Amino acid sequence: MRVAVLGLGEAGSLYASGFRGNGWAVAGYDPGDVSTPDGVERADSVRAAVQGCDLVLGLTGAKVALAVAREAAPHLASGTVFADMNAAAPQLKREIAQAVQESAGVVFADVSVIGSVPTHRHGTPLVTSGAGAAQVAAHFGTLGTPVEDLGAEPGAASARKLLRSVFMKGLGAIITQTVEAGRAAGDEQWVREQIAAELASGESTLDRLYQGTVKHGERRAFEVSAAADLMADLRLDAELTQAIQPRAHPGRPSGRAEQRAAGERRAAGRTRGRRHGEHR
């Protein structure tokens, strides 16, 4: 079996090594000045990398994913599975699917990585959808990778990934800012211990934070406002903390929604006033 890895960055290199270690022939392509994993054939073009492959992994980054897929498409053999593993919007995945499936017999799989590749390497769980999903599950199964086949159209797997990203990328940003604030206040270690303790309780923490936010939103919004003031006092960027404030009170409209609601209340008041005048 032969696989091409398009994009030899951190994730691409780890997947290339994983397939090579499990007996696959591996070709890799990357126009950047990056190293080539041991045992991987470094191709000098997309065309050279994908020819004769059973599986092609797109790990180039979402910005160039469609362009690379279009470049690869004419050189994909019938029966090849093109698996786009970039984190991207569902619509982009559908466009990539259309591009590669213009070559007869080629099937597409939308693949999302659910976890940290540097931590779990080629064993990082995957979610996949599209015509080639079952084949992706079988191919990665040779590596022992957990794969959930959604049995749906391209875009379903990426949507699942992006739902998780709302939390994970937001959590990463919040942790970064909180640790920086702790460092600036001289309490970094204490802040780290507080975060670690909260993250250790799993679903019980999830339920407590969700239900508590709904129940005590107004009080929490004031608390977050005070936290933003502290960030400013510490001469740190408070924009993220300020953005959290209206979200800490889910029952209260925020931003444009709040302005729209206020406008609707004023308009309703004027209407009532006119009606009262009509009956005088």
Q: What is the pLDDT of residues 216-265, one digit of tens each?
A: 778 778 788 888 898 899 999 988 888 887 776 665 554 444 445 444 54
DSSP state of 76: P
Q: Flag whether pLDDT at 146 surpasses 90.
A: yes
Average pLDDT value over all residues in the chain: 88
- Confidence class for position 191, pLDDT limits 50, 70, 90: very high
Residue 123 is predicted with a pLDDT of 97
Percent of the chain with pLDDT over 70: 88
Least confident of 49-58, 72-81, 120-129, 235-244: 235-244
Q: What is the pLDDT of residue 261?
A: 45
Find, among 222, 221, 223, 241, the residue nearest to 231 by Cα: 241
Task: Please write the tens of the pLDDT for every residue from 255-265.
Answer: 444 445 444 54
Q: In a 10 Å sphere around its CB, with 0-12 CB exposed, 13-18 middle and 19+ buried, how is residue 141 labelled?
A: exposed
**Mean of the pLDDT values across residues 13-23?**
98
Give the pLDDT confidence score for residue 250 in this predicted structure.
Answer: 63
Residue 11's SS3 state is helix
Determine the pLDDT at residue 268: 52
pLDDT of residue 175: 93
Q: What is the pLDDT, as a whole number, of residue 279?
A: 45
Q: What 3 state SS string does 169-232 have?
A: HHHHHHHHHHHHHHHHHCCHHHHHHHHHHHHCCCHHHHHHHHHHHHHCHHHHHHHHHHHHHHHH
For residue 80 the two structure tokens come to 């090849």
The whole-number average pLDDT for the span 105-119 is 96
Average pLDDT, integer, range 17-39:
97
Contacts of residue 96, defined as CB under 8 A and 6 or more positions apart, other chains included, come to 58, 65, 66, 69, 82, 84, 108, 154
CB 90 within 8 A of CB 98: no
Distance (Å, whole) CA 180 – CA 50 = 45
Q: What is the pLDDT of residue 122?
A: 97
Q: What is each CA distance from 36 to 120, 121, 125, 220, 232, in whole angstroms? A: 20, 16, 24, 50, 46
Mean pLDDT of 80-97: 97
